[in-house]
């Protein structure tokens, strides 16, 4: 049935590992507060 | 010989807040603001002084981002050194207990 099919699809999607985010090199930017003001 | 582990601890002289995927850190020593990107934030959040850097990279960076362990570790070491130079992170070869200041 449609409900069973939908349920199967949901279970399959839940079993998939979560997609990883694209990697970017860890970075730090910095600035002085008084300069910004 | 076993490789020496690195433990990282957030400085007590900062205030920080997460904004989206980024983290904004303000040094109370010289009023400097630092902004970390998403991967930097993942490392920063693991800086509890008790978890080795290799574990932070493995459990936070490699699980969340599409990267190899070697690349992530090399970048993390460089990143941690930079934060330590700015004085917002302490680096130690031993675990640091909560409240202990290096």
Query: Which of the pair, B98 or B2, is modelled with greater confidence?
Result: B98
Q: Where are the domains of chain B?
A: 7-86
pLDDT tens digits for range B75-101: 998 899 999 988 999 999 989 776 655
d(CA B10, CA B54): 17
Domain count, chain A: 1
Residue in A with minimal Cα distance to B83: A28
Residue in B with minimal Cα distance to A18: B64
Res B48: pLDDT: 95
pLDDT tens digits for range B8-33: 999 999 999 988 999 999 898 888 89
Res B10: pLDDT: 95
Chain B residues inside the 8 Å CB shell of A35: none
Chain B CB within 8 Å of residue A17 CB: no
Q: What percent of chain A has pLDDT over 90?
A: 14
Query: Which of the pair, B78 or A36, is modelled with greater confidence?
Result: B78
In contact, B61 and B37? CB cutoff 8 Å: no
Chain B CB within 8 Å of residue A34 CB: yes
Res B84: pLDDT: 96
Rounded to whole angstroms, the maximal C-alpha distance in chain A is 66
Res B1: pLDDT: 45
B7-86 has which CATH code?
Answer: 3.90.930
Average pLDDT score over residue span B57-68: 93
DSSP string over A1-37 = -HHHHHHHHHHHHHHSPPPPEEP----EEEEEHHHH-
Where in the sequence is the domain holding A16, given as residue range(s)? Answer: 2-36
């Amino acid at each position: 049935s449609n409900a069973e099919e939908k349920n199967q699809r949901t279970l399959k999607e839940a079993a998939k590992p979560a997609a990883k985010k694209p990697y970017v090199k860890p970075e730090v930017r910095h600035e002085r507060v008084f300069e910004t003001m | 010989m076993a490789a020496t582990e690195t433990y990282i601890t957030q400085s007590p002289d900062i205030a920080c807040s997460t904004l989206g995927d980024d983290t904004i850190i303000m040094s109370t020593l010289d009023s400097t603001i630092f902004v970390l990107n998403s991967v930097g934030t993942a490392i920063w959040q693991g800086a509890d002084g008790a978890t080795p850097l290799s574990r932070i990279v493995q459990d936070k960076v490699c699980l969340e981002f599409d990267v190899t362990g070697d690349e992530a570790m090399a970048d993390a070491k460089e990143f941690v050194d930079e934060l330590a130079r700015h004085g917002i992170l302490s680096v130690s070869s031993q675990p640091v207990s909560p409240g202990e200041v290096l």
